[in-house]
């Protein structure tokens, strides 16, 4: 009887274990879309050109927040260049704004299908500069004439110790690893000087990537099937009634 119970429990657990293994160990195919989202906060440090024009509509100094999503499985433009075209798949940004003296917020819109890229720079430790730079097209409401055209973020490490390769990171680079972390939103042509700039305060990944969620689902299935099997085996069988 004990051997029958043991074999029955194995029969119930093996399918769930196999399911978990597929979730955890299956790797995405080359070029598959594996979105990674970084949440960030920071501040506005300068506002240029017509963007600063009180008491009318203007961008102002204050705290910002947003997120950037990119495909971590994107292919390099050319091997060993660290250039990933069309890798950004989403961006949000909320920055302070004043409209006729009333504080509010301004949120430009990321352009799907626009020009975007990520650049990873890596050098031997101590031999140069490491960097993470992302740029993408933007649009949105005009401010005193010009409309937003592009957003960029750049993390610079002159010591060359931030990265160990040219692959896109799947976890946010630590801000403490960089000497500077800046962003800028350009309105119209960059030569016109209508640019709002700022620095980063925090940079974190969204709490649960898809792989972790799938692993949790598989684990719950494993536990549930195992417990259900034990209950069925331990439940006393009622004697068959003869009419």
pLDDT digits (tens, 9 = 90+) for 124-157: 655 678 999 999 999 999 999 999 999 999 999 9
Which has the higher per-residue pLDDT, 217 or 23? 217
Q: Which residues of 151-162 are buried (b: 16+ CB within 10 A; e: fewer)?
A: bbbbbbbeebeb
Quote the pLDDT of residue 233: 45
Domains and CATH numbers, the chain: 30-207 (2.40.160)
State the helix-helix crossing angle for 2-25 and 210-234, rounded to 10 degrees.
170
Collapse the DSSP code of 22 into the 3-class scheme (helix H, G, I; strand E, B; otherwise coil) and give the result: helix
User: Each residue of 199-230: pLDDT tens digit?
Assistant: 999 999 986 454 544 544 454 444 454 545 54
Closest C-alpha to 146, from 104, 194, 100, 191: 194
């Amino acid at each position: 009887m004990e051997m029958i119970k043991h074999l029955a429990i194995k029969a119930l657990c093996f399918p769930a274990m196999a399911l978990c293994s597929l979730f955890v160990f299956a790797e995405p195919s080359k070029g598959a879309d594996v979105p990674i989202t970084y949440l960030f906060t920071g501040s506005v440090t300068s506002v240029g050109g017509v963007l600063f024009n009180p008491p009318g509509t203007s961008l102002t100094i204050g705290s910002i927040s947003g997120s950037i999503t990119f495909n971590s499985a994107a292919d390099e433009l050319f091997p060993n260049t660290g250039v990933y075209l069309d890798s950004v798949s989403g961006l949000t940004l909320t920055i302070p704004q004043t409209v006729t003296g009333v504080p509010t917020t301004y949120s430009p819109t990321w352009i799907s299908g626009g020009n975007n890229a990520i650049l990873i720079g890596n050098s031997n430790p101590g031999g140069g500069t490491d960097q993470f730079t992302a740029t993408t097209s933007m649009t949105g409401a005009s401010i005193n004439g010009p409309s937003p055209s592009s957003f960029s973020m750049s993390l610079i490490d002159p010591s060359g110790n931030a990265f160990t390769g040219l692959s896109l990171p799947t976890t946010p680079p630590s801000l403490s690893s960089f000497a500077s972390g800046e962003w800028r939103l350009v309105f119209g042509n960059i030569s016109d000087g209508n640019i709002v700039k700022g620095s980063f305060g925090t940079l974190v990944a969204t709490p649960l990537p898809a792989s972790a969620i799938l692993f949790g689902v598989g684990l719950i299935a494993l536990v549930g099937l195992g417990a259900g099997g034990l209950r069925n085996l331990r439940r006393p069988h009622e004697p068959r009634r003869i009419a």
